[in-house]
Amino acid sequence: MVDPAPEVVIVGGGIAGLFTAHALVARGIPVTLYEQARALGEIGAGVWLTPNGLRHLERVGLGEAVARAAGHVGPGSRYHREDGTEIAGVQLTGSTGPLCAVGMHRADLVALLADGLPDGVVHTDRRCVGFAAAGDRVRVEFQDGTEVEGDVTIACDGIHSALRHHVVPPSEPVFSGAVAYRGLVPHEAVPDWPTDGWNMWLGPGRHFLTFPVRSGRLINYVGFVPADEAMRESWSLPGDPDRLRREFAGWDPRIGELLAHVEATLRWGLYDRDPLPRWVSGRLALLGDAAHPMLPHLGQGANQAMEDGMALAALLARAGRAGAPAALRAYERLRLDRVAQVQRGARENGLRYDSAYADLAVRDAEMRAHVEYRKQLYDYDVLAAVDRVPA
């Protein structure tokens, strides 16, 4: 008798949860997803998709939809000193291509992922308040008094996961000491702004990033600045556009021209966690920010979550119900070191971006050398790694 595929319950309807649902559906694995919000959605900001994530969006049939919605960039992408002097080009592909990094509006990516799932997979207005495991089944409880059962539960519910404490002891996120101002400027307001480039300016203690979304109709910006105590607790709150402009006063005039059109901005405290020792307990697994929140300085948050989801789906597909716990343990072994390296790399790159150097020529040389690291990061194919895991 053939062991049927495990029934999977996903908690969390952000990018990590929705993509993982796609990866499971593509493998014929029954899945239901539960999101605490009354409607799926994301705030108005951009997300950077790199080749190691894009290849998996293509594999679940979403490559063309992403290409239509994305902002495409090319060889005009540059790192700059704060005065606008060019430092280096930006690595946008792996060693050989052809996949090239793109910018997307987060809301567009969430909508694209949600709309592509079969009816009945996604359930909203379900806040998770409890979890229990008994034998070969798991049960998830919701605030409205309802419960669901399955063979596996996947926690995709972010840095403040309601389920993480079932896997590792409770802990607080680690504050980076910085906040990010994020927002969007219509291209029509800055018609001379290039719509085909990812550009970053680096200066003492802060840096500024732009890239296009929505086929270049919007310019996504992020201003990274040191935080004072009053700003530390900010997670996603309105920011002061005038303060943002003051933070980058005297920098490359192009930044001032862009920020002159900012009428509203969001302010985010930047937090991550130290790499966890484990992601799995029995039939419960952590995924995405629930397992490995990271600073945005490598643009890898969403991309690593997609690697997680693709690996997990591939391992569960060959396991069956009885083998699901072993598949989750294999997922943990496969992903722990890879993601810990990316988490640490994001912290290190943040110091590089914020020019924590006595000699900026050293920083600039490291920026040029970073091309090889990016190639290795983007070349990684998690399905090739799964194929090397003993069945």
How many alpha carbons fall within 13 Å on the CB side of residue 273? Answer: 23
Question: Where do we find the tokens 């308040």?
Answer: 129
At 179, is the secondary structure helix, strand, or coil? strand
pLDDT above 80: residue 44: no
Which residues have a Cβ under 8 Å from the Cβ of 348 and sit 6 or more positions away? none
Taking the C-alpha atoms of residue 284 and residue 8, their distance in angstroms, rounded to an integer, is 10
- By the 8 A CB rule, do 174 and 273 touch? yes
List, in sequence order, every residue forming a beta bridge with 185; answer none if it has no partner: 219
- Give the tens place of pLDDT for each residue, 266-289: 999 999 999 999 999 999 999 999
- Banded pLDDT at 4 (limits 50, 70, 90): confident
Return the closest-CA partner of residue 67 out of 84, 86, 83, 54.
54
Any idea which of 101-115, 188-202, 221-235, 357-371 has the lowest mean pLDDT? 221-235
Taking the C-alpha atoms of residue 57 and residue 280, their distance in angstroms, rounded to an integer, is 25
At 174, is the secondary structure helix, strand, or coil? strand
Taking the C-alpha atoms of residue 66 and residue 49, their distance in angstroms, rounded to an integer, is 10
Cα three-residue angle 172-18-26, rounded to 5 degrees: 135
Length of the chain: 391
Taking the C-alpha atoms of residue 241 and residue 11, their distance in angstroms, rounded to an integer, is 35
pLDDT above 80: residue 143: yes
**Domain spans in the chain, listed from the N-terminal domain onward:** 8-74+101-172+276-353
The architecture of the domain spanning 8-74+101-172+276-353 is 3-Layer(bba) Sandwich (3.50)
Cα three-residue angle 9-11-12, rounded to 5 degrees: 140
- By the 8 A CB rule, do 233 and 269 touch? yes
Kindly write down the DSSP assignment for every residue of 57-87, as one continuous string.
HHHTT-HHHHHHHSEE--TT-EEEETTS-EE
Phi, psi of 106 (to 5 degrees): -55, -40
Q: Whole-prediction pTM value?
A: 0.96
What is the overall mean pLDDT for the chain?
94
Give the 3-state DSSP-derived string for 239-276, with helices as H, strands as E and coil as C.
ECHHHHHHHCCCCCHHHHHHHCCCCCEEEEEEEECCCC
- Banded pLDDT at 311 (limits 50, 70, 90): very high
Question: Where do we find the tokens 């397992």?
Answer: 291
Joined tokens for residue 52: 């190691």
Report H helices in the chain. 15-26, 51-59, 63-69, 106-115, 229-232, 241-247, 253-259, 301-317, 324-353, 360-379, 382-387
Q: How confident is the model at residue 43, as a pLDDT?
A: 72
- Give the tens place of pLDDT for each residue, 79-111: 999 999 999 999 999 998 889 999 999 999 999
- Banded pLDDT at 234 (limits 50, 70, 90): low
